[in-house]
Amino acid sequence: MIDRAMKRALFLDRDGVINVDHGYVSRIEDFEFIDGILDFIKTAQANGYLLIIVTNQSGIGRGYYSSEDFERLTDWMLEKMQDAGVVIDRSQVFHCPHDPDSGCDCRKPMPGMFKAAQERFGIDMENSWMIGDKPSDIEAAENAGVGHTLRIETNRPLSGNIKKMLLKGMNA
């Protein structure tokens, strides 16, 4: 079956939103899911949102850790998400491995990762959401035409009110 309907997406930054940002998290032992995020993601999926992760990983370009380290951690993170009932695979994770000085078009606030996701999945950007903790997350989403953005505090669980507001907006 081919689904020709345009999908709405929930774009999520990784560090500081999904997991606690300890600075250049690259090892499984340093990856700590933020309270309630998996439940929230699951609920968003139940409301018809395709989950997309967009993460700047300049630690690779800076030589702090390798692409293999990133892939290993991503595989582990996806497994934990799947264990929690989230439907997601590797194709839904976009990362920028470049150094900030490289002038690439994927490092947020550039919209490259969002555009790549849009192309891969046929996303309805206008009706999609981005949740991030940095101004560059929000800028990148706006540069890519994402209709709704929310900036939260780094490492803070989403409050009950934010969850309610988001899910209400998501259903609208």
Question: Could you say whether residue 16 binds Mg ion (CB under 5 A)?
Answer: yes
State both tokens at 48: 């018809």
Question: Could you say whether residue 95 binds Zn ion (CB under 5 A)?
Answer: no
Residue nearest Mg ion (C-beta atom): 16
Taking residues 121 to 140 in sequence order and writing x for each that binds Mg ion by CB under 5 A, - otherwise, the string is: ------------x-------
Question: Could you say whether residue 106 binds Zn ion (CB under 5 A)?
Answer: yes
Q: Who's near 83: CB < 8 A, 6+ residues apart?
A: none
Report the nearest approach of Zn ion to the CB of residue 56 (Å): 8
Question: Could you say whether residue 113 binds Zn ion (CB under 5 A)?
Answer: no
Please answer whether residues 12 and 41 qualify as being in contact, where contact means their C-beta atoms are separated by less than 8 angstroms: yes
Report the nearest approach of Mg ion to the CB of residue 43 (Å): 21
Of Zn ion, Mg ion, none, which one sits near residue 108, judging by CB under 5 to 8 A according to partner kind? none
Closest CA to 37 of 109, 107, 133: 133
**Distance set, CA 59 to CA 43, 55, 85, 98, 100 (Å):** 31, 11, 30, 8, 10
Of Zn ion, Mg ion, none, which one sits near residue 133, judging by CB under 5 to 8 A according to partner kind? Mg ion
Question: Could you say whether residue 115 binds Zn ion (CB under 5 A)?
Answer: no
Indicate which residues carry an active-site annotation.
13, 15
